[in-house]
Amino acid sequence: MRTDRACLAAAFAAALTAPLAAQEVQGTQDPLSAIEWLEDGGAEQMTPLQPPEPPVADRVARPEVESRPLDAPGVEAAGLLPMSVTGLPPDLWSESRTETLVPLVAAVDPAVPALSALLFTLLLAEADPSQGPETEVSLLAARLDRLFDEGGIEPGLALIERAGGTASPALFTRWMDFALLSRTAENACRALERQPALSEDLATRIYCDARTGDWEHAATVLGTAEALGRLDERTAELLARFIDPALADGASPVAVPPRPTPLEFRLFEAIGETLPTQPLPVPFAVADLGGTSGWRAQVLAAERLARRGALSDNRLLGLYTERSPAASGGVWDRVAAVQALDEALESGRPDLVAPALRQAWSQMRSAGLLVPFSRLFGPRLAEVSLEGEAAGLALRAELLSPEYEIAAANVTGTDPTMRTVAAIAQGRAPEPLPDAPRLAAAAEAWSGTEVPRRLSEMLRAGKLGEALLRAIALFSSGAEGNHGDITAALATFRAVGLEDTARRAAIQALLLHDEGALR
């Protein structure tokens, strides 16, 4: 069918090139709107071909028509990042099989933030669909599921809306989950009201009936579903209290499931039994960033998302510096340390910056947030004249920042880790290669190492996306001790032009495990 559509589009474009060249086309339009008489009542002026017949209906409903330009990408090709942004070709997935890519997307586990960023890029890139039946949306579904698992609720919601949340029941289910956590379920519920076939889940339909104001229908469906045993006891109780809050008066709290769904999470909140997000999977942390949670909950949620690369550095810093901490210990110590460093850098006094940096570095390292911290403060620290241990930490922060190549020129001494990192930051291998296996494995990728045969064959076959996913997995294997896999992964990234990704990944892997840095 895809080939037929392509041929139709080509033929149609060839036939109409001259007329269309004289027209102004402003984005995607409903094709029916181009037929003026459908809008101005001109149809009534047409002469019927046969005598009029008695009416068979008392009203006419004009169906909703979803339109798309003939050259627009299909659902599976949807993305937020165009090729001009990612640098990735449109055939990123097209030579691979969907059934091969789906488990890869679900299983790959980036070992360092640089590869988390690459994974997000792959998930959000515009690209031609993979090979598989056109009726399926399994790769897009897998991309959305992975974005959800990583806490990428906002980009995931934007992606599914770009693809069309009503394109299939499978996509609608995901749209609903993303929308519930982002507090934007109204649009999804309105879509379900127009197209009931999008979901057979009774809990979702009852919830949406209530959200769109049809409380009586919601109550009727709930009663029927309970009578037929179509809802479990917990869900039925949550929906009943949601529809009629008076039922909660004097009643015992509803038992909390070990892994609530987004709908259950929102229902608990709606009936006044809000669940804490810390024990829940990462995507639920997004719910604490909506402004209704306390400051501590917001900071903890932001930290969880920042570790996965699902929150911008500036948003994390904004929450850290929002107000003065009212307590000490745990997260408050991190907040105080970041604020103290920020204030010290504003003063420009090295005697204040040095102790503040030591404290902040220790706090952020223990929280697994050194890379976001370094991106925020590394360039600023480079402008301060520091000495001793503080100078070493400032240099490491700059190496973990986008300014790593500039920082490399300031590396001196014989420390093997810093010497190796400095060479990699400048795109070369140190001479001689270091003795430590981890250092040597990273450095060898810049000494002429070839891409592994299996990945090389994938690249020759045009399976770039699949090769990159496997390279990310290889790097994770190397980080766990199979050092040769680090070399193979980095060589692959370099071979396909991802030099910056390769350097960042190597630098992060070495510095984040450097025993010489302050803990």
Structure confidence by residue, pLDDT tens digits, 184-224: 999 999 999 999 999 999 999 999 999 999 999 999 999 99
Percent of the chain with pLDDT over 70: 84
Can you name the residues that pair with 125 across neighbouring β-strands?
A: 81
The amino acid at 206? I
Confidence of residue 134 (pLDDT cuts 50, 70, 90): low
Looking at residue 73, its pLDDT comes to: 54
Q: What's the Cα-to-Cα distance from 406 to each of 396, 422, 425, rounded to whole Å?
A: 12, 10, 9
Which one is predicted more confidently, 234 or 14?
A: 234
Beta strand residue intervals within 261-324, DSSP E: none
CA pair distance 181, 283, nearest whole angstrom: 8
At residue 56, the pLDDT reads 43
Residues contacting residue 456 through CB under 8 Å, at least 6 positions apart = 450
Question: Taking the mean position of all CA atoms in its chain, how far away is CA 59?
Answer: 45
User: How many Cα atoms occupy the beta-carbon half-sphere of 213 within 13 Å?
Assistant: 1
Q: How confident is the model at residue 278 (pLDDT cuts 50, 70, 90)?
A: very high
Task: Find all residues with CB under 8 Å of 390, minimum gap 6, and list them.
Answer: 350, 353, 354, 355, 357, 358
Q: How far is CA 498 from CA 179, 472, 505, in A?
A: 34, 12, 11
HSE-CB at 282 with a 13 A cutoff on CA atoms is 19
CA distance 144 to 166: 15
Q: Which residues of 365-391 are buried (b: 16+ CB within 10 A; e: fewer)?
A: bebebbbbbbbbbbbbbbebebeeebb
- Render pLDDT for 379-433 as a digit per residue (tens, 0 to 9): 999 999 999 999 999 999 999 999 999 999 999 989 999 999 999 999 999 999 9
55: tokens are: 């009416």
Can you give the pLDDT at residue 216? 95
Gyration radius of the chain over CA positions: 28
CA atoms of 4 and 77, how far apart (whole Å): 17
CA dist 488 → 471, 472, 485, 504 (Å): 8, 10, 5, 15
Residue 23 pLDDT more than 50?
no
Tell me the pLDDT band of 62, cut-offs 50, 70 and 90.
very low
Dist CA 63 CA 234 (whole Å) = 38
> What are φ and ψ of residue 125, in 5° steps?
-75, 140
Helix (H) or strand (E) holding 440: helix 437-444
Full 3-state SS string of 167-208: CCHHHHHHHHHHHHHCCCHHHHHHHHHHCHHHCCCHHHHHHH
Mean of per-residue pLDDT scores for the chain: 86
Q: How far apart are CA 122 and CA 124, in angstroms?
A: 6
Q: Which amino acid is at 423?
A: A
Q: What would the mean pLDDT of 289-304 be, rounded to a whole number?
A: 92
Secondary structure element (H or E) that encloses residue 138, with its range: helix 138-149
> Rounded to whole angstroms, what are the CA distances from 435 to 231, 417, 420, 431?
63, 10, 11, 11
Residue 171: name the closest of 209, 203, 135, 118 by CA: 135
Backbone angles phi, psi at 242, to 5 degrees: -70, -40
Sign of the four-CA dihedral 471, 110, 425, 435? negative
pLDDT in tens, 245-263: 998 888 899 999 999 999 9
pLDDT at res. 292: 82
Spatial distance between the Cα atoms of 35 and 404, rounded to a whole number of angstroms: 58
CB-based contacts of 16: which residues, under 8 Å, 6+ apart? Answer: none
